[in-house]
Amino acid sequence: MTNKHIIFFDIDGTLLDEDKNLPESAKEAIFSLKEQGHEVAIATGRAPFLFEDLREELSIDTYVSYNGQYVVLNGEVIYKNPLNKEALESLTEVAVSNEHPVVFMDHEDMKANVPDHDYISESIRSLKVKHYPTHDPKYIDRELYQALLFCKEGEETGYEERYKEFDFIRWHEFSVDILPAGGSKSEGIEKIVEKLGIAKENQAAFGDSLNDLEMLTDIEKSVAMGNGHERAKEAAKYETKPVSEDGIMHGLKMIGLL
């Protein structure tokens, strides 16, 4: 196939609507891309274990997870960028003194440093996933790709100023992602396209949120969802309809892939 493309899809707000449902038109569009010989991949802030069902439903085994920190090509891990362990241990000590819970995440599971907390339950419940962090403060003693800091908006500022090893991205009223500084979906995507040898003009991406900005800026055929953040729309080259209004199908037609 001379015009083979690779298309990267974010999950929440892009493939899945606000109720975490996959529109039938989006599923149909992805299988149509595959039938035409294109590569289809996921680029998400989620952990691998938080979208296993979706990968199975869409028959996708290439993905960028943890916003670029854990990258898999055709079922094989090709790139890992774990958190700085010493800095995370220090941050966790400060968080404990501030009564801010922390959840530790690797490629298989997530564990909390406290038995239970309202901020954790409310934040994780909003994802509508079947996984929930159980209590294991020793889970920090392994290769971790992301942590979650639970605090109110603005309370993360002190951590941001002190721990330059990390980027802090708020995704919920009570929760902030902790990621290696400078990592992004765009960096993870680069690892995949290098391996596959797909030219920039044959790369496309769909996203809706602040953690999609680099991806939407760097990729030539980038599409922001109609329900997306205004900054995502500004970064993308195209804007499609909202996910719940067949936005994926419409966007793929806009860029000439369907």
Q: For residue 79, which phi and psi values (nearest 5 degrees)?
A: -160, 135
DSSP state at residue 198:
-
Percent of the chain with pLDDT over 90: 93
For residue 135, what are the contacts with CB-CB under 8 A and spacing of at least 6? Answer: 111, 112, 113, 114, 115, 116
208 part of the active site: no
What pLDDT sits at residue 168? 94
Other CB atoms within 10 A of residue 218 CB: 18
Give 95 or 183, the one with higher predicted confidence.
95
Spatial distance between the Cα atoms of 66 and 152, rounded to a whole number of angstroms: 22
Q: Where do runs of H (alpha helix) occur along the chain?
A: 24-35, 52-58, 85-97, 118-127, 157-162, 185-196, 213-218, 230-235, 247-254
Q: Per CATH, is 85-180 categorized as 3.40.640.10? A: no
Side chain identity, residue 231: R
DSSP state at residue 131:
-
Q: Where do runs of H (alpha helix) occur along 40-184?
A: 52-58, 85-97, 118-127, 157-162
Report residue 1's pLDDT band, with 50, 70 and 90 as the boundaries.
low
DSSP state at residue 28:
H
On the question of a common fold for 6-80+183-254 and 85-180, the answer reads: no
43, β-bridge pairs: 64
Angle (CA) 121-127-129 rounded to 5° is: 90
The structure's pTM equals 0.92
C-beta of residue 4 within 8 angstroms of C-beta of residue 40? no
* Residue 82: Cβ-neighbour burial (10 angstroms; 0-12, 13-18, 19+): middle
Side chain identity, residue 213: L
C-beta of residue 188 within 8 angstroms of C-beta of residue 64? yes
Residue 112 has pLDDT above 70, yes or no: yes
Helix (H) or strand (E) holding 147: strand 146-150
Average pLDDT rounded to a whole number, residues 207-227:
96
Helix 247-254 vs helix 24-35: crossing angle, to nearest 10: 40
Topology annotation, domain 6-80+183-254: Rossmann fold (3.40.50)
Residue among 10, 167, 218, 246 flagged as catalytic: 10
What pLDDT sits at residue 2? 67
The model's pLDDT over 15-69, given as tens digits with 9 standing for 90+, comes to 999 999 999 999 999 999 999 999 999 999 999 999 999 999 999 999 999 999 9
Q: Which CA distances in Å does 26 have to 29, 73, 249? A: 5, 22, 6
Q: State the chain's mean pLDDT as an integer.
A: 96
C-beta of residue 177 within 8 angstroms of C-beta of residue 46? no
Taking the domains of the chain in order of start, what are their residue ranges? 6-80+183-254, 85-180
